[in-house]
Amino acid sequence: MQENLARRQEYVEEQEREVGLVNVGEPAITGIAFKGHPERKPICEDVKINDPDNGLFLVADGVTNASGWFASRETARILNEGLGEELDDQIERIAQNKNLNAKRKEALIDALVRSEMRSSILEADNHIVTRVKADPRMRSSATTVSVAKLVEMPNGKQSIFLANIGDSRILIMRKGKLKRLTKDDSLLTFAVSEKIMSEEQARQIDQANSLDEVADRWKSYYRQRNQVMNSVGGHGLKEV
C-alpha cells in the first residue's frame, strides 16, 4: 500500500515539474475516503489547468478508485500539449496568411480548434485504455474532463471552444446569474433524454440532501445520481 502511494506521489510531482500543469490558487483538497467519515484520500484525483497565456482552462476529475489519479493526470498532460502553444502557432499562421480573407480565416481556425480538441481527447482516451490493459494496477482508471480554449479571432473578437466528458459542468456567469453551458453525461441526464423523468424531477433528485427527500419511485436514481455514463479511459469513450 505504502509503495503504491509513494509511486503515485512521485508520478504526480514529476508531471507537475516537467509538464507544468498549472494549479493556481489554494491547493486542491482531496476527497473523503469513506462516506460519513472525516478521513480524506491520500492522493488528490483531480487536476486543473488555468493558463490564461495560452487560453487553456481544464478540470479533470478522476473517477474514484485506486487509479483515478492516473487518468486525470494523463488527460491533462495530453490536452495541455495538444491545445497549448503548438495550436496557438497554427492559429497565428492562419491569421497572418495574406492569401485568405477574414471569413475564410475564421472558418479555418474554427475547424482547426474543434478538430484538435476532439483528437486530443481521443488520444488521451486511447492512451489510458492502452495503459490499463498493459498494467493491471491501473485497472478502471478513468476521468471526467471539461476543457475550454479561448481564441482571439482575426476580427479581434474572442471565441471560446468547450468540450465536456462526464459531469464536471461548465457554467457562465452574467449579471450575477449562472447558466450551464454543458450537459452532464450522467444517469439523470439519460433518464431525462429517455423521458423517464422531467428536467425538474432530475433537478430535485440531484439537489436532494438525503434519500428521505426523494419519492420512492426515484430512490434508485438518487443512489446512482453520480454515476457517469461517459468518461475518458476506463468506460470507453462513447462520444466527443
What are residue 71's phi and psi, to 5 degrees?
A: -65, -40
Question: What is the DSSP annotation of 81-125?
Answer: HHTSHHHHHHHHHHHT-TTS-HHHHHHHHHHHHHHHHHHHHHHHH
- How large is the average pLDDT for residues 88-116? 95
pLDDT of 186 reads: 84
- How large is the average pLDDT for residues 123-141? 84
pLDDT at 40 over 60: no
More confident position, 47 or 64? 47
Question: What is the DSSP-derived secondary structure letter of residue 228?
Answer: B
- How large is the average pLDDT for residues 191-213? 88
- How large is the average pLDDT for residues 202-214? 87
Question: What is the DSSP annotation of 25-80?
Answer: SSPPPPPBSSTTS--B-SS--EEEEEEGGGTEEEEEEE-SSTTHHHHHHHHHHHHH
pLDDT of 38 reads: 60
pLDDT of 135 reads: 79
Decide if 154 contacts 147 (C-beta within 8 A).
Answer: no
- How large is the average pLDDT for residues 41-61? 83
Question: CA-CA distances (angstroms) from residue 161 to 23, 57, 64, 85, 150?
Answer: 21, 10, 28, 16, 6
More confident position, 40 or 46? 46
Question: CA-CA distances (angstroms) from residue 3 to 8, 9, 30, 63?
Answer: 9, 10, 19, 21
149 pLDDT tier (thresholds 50, 70, 90): very high
240 pLDDT tier (thresholds 50, 70, 90): low
Which grid coordinates are listed for 212? 428521505
Lowest mean pLDDT among 66-75, 119-128, 157-166: 66-75
145 pLDDT tier (thresholds 50, 70, 90): very high
pLDDT of 41 reads: 57
pLDDT at 164 over 90: yes
Lowest mean pLDDT among 39-43, 52-56, 229-233: 39-43
Q: State the pTM of this model.
A: 0.78
Angle, helix 68-82 to helix 85-95, in steps of 10 degrees = 30
pLDDT at 32 over 60: no
- How large is the average pLDDT for residues 202-222? 87
The β-bridge partners of 151 are 159
What are residue 2's phi and psi, to 5 degrees?
A: -65, -35
Question: What is the DSSP annotation of 146-203?
Answer: EEEEEEE-TTS-EEEEEEEESS---EEEETTEEEE-S---BHHHHHHHTTSS-HHHHH
99 pLDDT tier (thresholds 50, 70, 90): very high
- How large is the average pLDDT for residues 13-23? 55
